[in-house]
Amino acid sequence: MISKGGSEALLQTLVDTARTASPDYDILLPLFRLLTKVGLRDKKFGQKALELEALDVTLILARKNLSHSQNLLHCLWALRVFASSVTTAAMLGINGAMELLFKVITPYTRKRTRIIRAATEVLAALLKSKSTSRRAVNRGYVPSLLGLHRDWHSHDTANSYLPIRRALLLCLRHIAALQSGREAFLAARGMEILFSTTQSSLEDRSLEPVTSMVLQVLRQCHPKSPLPLATASSAYSFPGPGRVAPEPPRALAEEDFEDDGDEADDHSDSEDPREEDDDLETDVSKLSPKPGLDRPEEELTQYEALCPELSCSFEELEPRPGDERDSEYANHPHIPAPAPQQRCFSEDQSSRGQEREDAVQTSLLSAVKRGRPSVYLAPQKPAPRTNLHQNAPSNGLGMDSLGKKALDIEAFLREDTWDIDMISCPRAGASLSDPTRPREAVDVIDRVLQAHPQHIPFHDPYVYMAKARRTRSVADFKMMAFPDLWGHRPAPSPEPLLERKRGIQRVKILEDIRRFIQPGDVLNKVVFSLDEPRQDTASEGLRFSSKFESGNLRKAIQVREFEYDLLVNTDVNCTQYQQWFNFKVSGMRAAVPYRFNIINYEKPNSQFNYGMQPTMYSVKEALLGRPTWVRTGYEICYYKNHYRESAAVTGGASRKCYYTLTFAVTFPHSDDACYLAYHYPYTYTALMTHLDILEKSVNPREVYFRQEALCQTLGGNSCPLVTITAMPESASADHLEQFRQRPYQVITARVHPGESNASWVMKGALEFLVSSDPVARLLRENFIFKIIPMLNPDGVVNGNHRCSLRGEDLNRQWLAPSAQLQPTIYHAKGLLYYLTSTGRGPVVFCDFHGHSQKKNVFVYGCSIQETLWQAASAGGASAVLEDVSYRTLPQILDELAPAFTMSSCSFLVEKSRASTARVVVWREMGVSRSYTMESSYCGCNQGPYQGLQFGTRELEEMGAMFCLGLLVLELKSGLQFGTRELEEMGAMFCLGLLVLELKSVSCSRQLLTRAGTLLSAEGEALDHRLRR
């Protein structure tokens, strides 16, 4: 009917009938009802009504029938449909429709409620027009609307007229889209009125339509303000090469914060927004391999020195006793010395061996036999939270985990023992045995270590202290973080995802509103600031610090007695990338809830809204025998706040919104020192300590472990390169040739400093590769691993989230890196070029990352066909021949690793990722299996770990499982392996995968038992052959 001109016919009939001397309402009323139905389907209905003068006719009829309810109601229905067009709504406003409606909308009454509801809905539609909203503001209707809202709210105790109340709030929301509307709303005390009327309705689900609209109006009208920071740029600056030292940034002023127009509501429940398909690369020439060099070929010869296994004799590869690393820690009692046995530590570390036996030496084959990894699986229902602090003594005395009497922890904490200047000589080359170092500080640490012996594999506080002296930071950190010095032991079991408390976000938003309308209740006292270092901390309250490696906290403001606003620092030489935090807090009371609000986040959503918790490390707990980073916090939510970016920073462009992460923490002890972090920290110094101890723990006659510097970073730190393989069986020519012909696997990590989970995955891979596990032995005997465990040491040291010291995302620099500006990327790419040029390109290249928006572990790969298919370029896809083996490793990991999920993997190549390691290695080096492996900061929502958050144990296990996947990949490819034992090895893996598959589906216990028995019996014979 609409397509045949039905709308125009009906509207013309309305006009003709209404203009008669005595309009016939027996015709008009059915006509209005028909017009209302048709108008909902006709997108141009309002414009047609305007052109045929139906608007004026309907307004005239409405005015004539103010006392005739039935006729007026039908006129209002028609006006509501007409006003669906903004243009028509503006014209109705000009013609006096708004004034008419305010005559109809009365204070609370039980009479004529259908008419009042229709009138409020028409008014809300009219006010979508900014000109009509402006007219409403100019004529003083904002106080009238607030008065009507308050009257209906107070009298409608039975909640019978929610549509009227919601429509009145919708009118206010449309008016609040204007700066003048917000000003009128604030002048009429709208914030106070809506705040007070909402307090009693938060828990009533039936009031959801009204409560939701109130919060939208309050958030829209809350005045936007600058962040309480001196400058928008980082508190740290680094004038590196190719960069001019920046001028002091202009201070942010209130006038920088003008009206930013309409805001989008941010109540999306989507965890994983889909990337736009228009970012997909559809140019086949840009997806095709692009062999070639980005530098002169003669420059590649420098990388021969990084691959001595290809040319040097066996004798030259053995470590020399005069090496600096050997002499520095010679005869130190806490350093494990190399010994014939692969895991031989000094007597005071004997318990490490047992833990190592449990953690690594348990055969990974045995884990597959059991149909799961060597750790716990998730319960069917979330397990009760494991409280590591339960029953912990709240004073400074107690028993450690071994039953030994602990020393006075309070007295120990009062001593400033973590100052590097007190416990060691100046950084320049002083050794731990130097008699000039302050003995009193070191004696304290010695006493503590003797009273609380360490039982943490591959960690030693003394090695850490020595390494810390060499670490260079922009701020020249003098303090060491206690968790890094003391070490971390994984929690005994993973924490379940935190169940989100209903309505928690609304409560926190209303608390922000309360601050605005009741400013007298807010202390607003700065207690810590990198910009103003001298703050008064003598009064009672928490004390904050972040001036240590990987620390990040720029400012702390006490809001109330137990509530603090926090601001994290941007990346060095940046005005963005606020996500990572890591700070120390002390001076707390036990069993008191403290609330922390980090108010300058940038991302529009976070896993903190979906079960993720921050991490905490308690010094007292560590000294009592529980040195563990644990998930902590409750009443957690993440939401958009009222802070906006300065117009001076954006140059007048659209300004960035900020988001608040808020969480409450109840500390286990009074007067403790606790560290709070976004995720489990893993520092550069911890890595260098770990590598040194790993190197000294291996049997050099069996394991080839070489640690060297890939290059020096801009900040003066060494970027480590690790080579792991098996030593040749002998110095014979055949064995040396086999040693040198092993294919390469290249693994990198931590190009983004805030992705500390990538380092824990890397730690698991490194420890597994040097272990005595039969699978690890096979991996070493058949591959050479080139590993760069930290591509961005400077960013990690200085607490950055994403960038280098130049403020660059290094994972967007792989296309044309500079040796002077991005040295780690330049030389990592050069090493890959060199391997490729010698015909030794890696079988697999994988860059370990962390992901803040998704759960589980998954990979991104590269496929021309899948990219073209997704971009609906089927013609281009059909013309491309592609080896699909890039999917094999993810499919293997999906079967082996409980944290991995194939369903989250993607093999699309986006334009915005053209300069990442994954895409560049795929295109320029021709590595089809080039991946980015992403590990969630949060946890899993499927598989055996469903409903659990990741701990460091699960992340390290993922690293070991990745290595296992490489071996299964080689077995599936049928390369390199020809002996009967290795054929049986492949059969055992296939059978293990079958058991995994059986466990994942419903099957009889008898069948499962028979499969497991068969695997166990065959596995014993296989293990015997492997040992032989």
Q: What is the pLDDT of residues 952-980, one digit of tens each?
A: 999 999 999 999 999 999 988 764 444 44
pTM: 0.84
- For residues 702 and 682, give the distance between their C-alpha atoms in angstroms, rounded to a whole number: 29
> Residue 534's CB: how many other CB atoms inside 10 A?
6
> Which of the residues 281, 549, 645, 934 is marked catalytic?
934
- What dihedral do alpha carbons 666, 667, 673, 679 form, nearest 10°? -60
Residue 790's contacts (CB-CB under 8 Å, 6 or more residues apart) are 684, 687, 719, 720, 749, 750, 759, 796
What are the pLDDT digits (tens) for 454-499? 778 999 998 998 999 999 999 999 889 999 999 999 999 999 999 9
The whole-number pLDDT of residue 402 equals: 40
Query: Per the structure block, which two tokens stand in for 937?
Result: 């900061």
Angle at 94 between CA 89 and CA 95, to 5 degrees: 95
The whole-number pLDDT of residue 871 equals: 81
pLDDT higher than 70, residue 244: no
Query: Residue 124: enclosing H or E segment and its boundaries?
Result: helix 113-126
- For residues 536 and 519, give the distance between their C-alpha atoms in angstroms, rounded to a whole number: 22
- For residues 699 and 695, give the distance between their C-alpha atoms in angstroms, rounded to a whole number: 9
**DSSP code, position 479:** B
Active site residue 934: yes
| Whole-number Cα distances in Å, 618 to 302, 606, 630, 672 | 47, 25, 9, 7
**Predicted confidence band of residue 398 (pLDDT cuts 50, 70, 90):** very low
**Predicted confidence band of residue 300 (pLDDT cuts 50, 70, 90):** very high
903, 813, 806: which is closest to 859 by C-alpha? 903
**Predicted confidence band of residue 804 (pLDDT cuts 50, 70, 90):** very high
Residue 392's contacts (CB-CB under 8 Å, 6 or more residues apart) are 398, 620, 621, 624, 626, 668, 669
Angle at 582 between CA 580 and CA 588, to 5 degrees: 140
- For residues 610 and 661, give the distance between their C-alpha atoms in angstroms, rounded to a whole number: 13
- For residues 801 and 571, give the distance between their C-alpha atoms in angstroms, rounded to a whole number: 6
The whole-number pLDDT of residue 148 equals: 96
The whole-number pLDDT of residue 239 equals: 86
The whole-number pLDDT of residue 734 equals: 86
What are the pLDDT digits (tens) for 595-635? 999 999 999 999 999 999 999 999 999 988 899 999 999 99
Residue 154's contacts (CB-CB under 8 Å, 6 or more residues apart) are 108, 197
What are the pLDDT digits (tens) for 314-370? 664 445 444 444 434 333 333 333 333 333 333 333 333 344 334 444 456 555 544
Pick 394 or 909 by higher pLDDT: 909
Q: Which residues pair with 525 in a beta bridge?
A: 558
231, 232, 235, 237: which is closest to 714 by C-alpha? 237
Burial of 753: CB neighbours in 10 Å, binned 0-12, 13-18, 19+: buried
The whole-number pLDDT of residue 528 equals: 95
What are the pLDDT digits (tens) for 541-560? 999 999 999 999 999 999 99
HEC letters along 512-525: HHHHHHCHHHCCCE
- For residues 405 and 878, give the distance between their C-alpha atoms in angstroms, rounded to a whole number: 73
- For residues 564 and 558, give the distance between their C-alpha atoms in angstroms, rounded to a whole number: 4
The whole-number pLDDT of residue 114 equals: 95
**Predicted confidence band of residue 302 (pLDDT cuts 50, 70, 90):** very high
Query: Per the structure block, which two tokens stand in for 95?
Result: 């013609």
Q: Cβ(329)–Cβ(465) under 8 Å?
A: no
**Predicted confidence band of residue 288 (pLDDT cuts 50, 70, 90):** confident
920, 908, 905: which is closest to 863 by C-alpha? 908
The whole-number pLDDT of residue 1020 equals: 54
Burial of 735: CB neighbours in 10 Å, binned 0-12, 13-18, 19+: middle
- For residues 7 and 49, give the distance between their C-alpha atoms in angstroms, rounded to a whole number: 9
What are the pLDDT digits (tens) for 409-455? 555 555 444 443 333 332 323 333 344 444 555 666 777 777 777 77
The whole-number pLDDT of residue 377 equals: 38
What are the pLDDT digits (tens) for 880-907? 678 888 999 999 999 999 999 999 999 9
Calculate mean pLDDT across residues 687-698: 96
Angle at 946 between CA 945 and CA 951, to 5 degrees: 45
Residue 297 C-beta-side C-alpha neighbours within 13 Å: 5
259: alpha, beta or left? (left if phi > 0; alpha if psi -120 to 50): beta
- For residues 624 and 401, give the distance between their C-alpha atoms in angstroms, rounded to a whole number: 6
Query: Per the structure block, which two tokens stand in for 957?
Result: 């296990």
Query: Residue 410: enclosing H or E segment and its boundaries?
Result: helix 409-414
> Residue 363's CB: how many other CB atoms inside 10 A?
20
146, 149, 219: which is closest to 185 by C-alpha? 146
> Residue 933's CB: how many other CB atoms inside 10 A?
28
Specify the length of the chain in residues: 1028
Calculate mean pLDDT across residues 396-410: 42
**C-alpha gyration radius of the chain:** 34
The whole-number pLDDT of residue 709 equals: 97
481, 571, 501, 560: which is closest to 525 by C-alpha? 560
Q: What percent of the chain has pLDDT over 70?
A: 76
Sign, CA dihedral 669-675-679-684, equals negative
Calculate mean pLDDT across residues 570-582: 93
- For residues 140 and 958, give the distance between their C-alpha atoms in angstroms, rounded to a whole number: 64
The whole-number pLDDT of residue 419 equals: 40
Q: Cβ(994)–Cβ(803) under 8 Å?
A: no
Residue 46's contacts (CB-CB under 8 Å, 6 or more residues apart) are 39, 81, 82, 83, 84, 85, 87, 88, 89
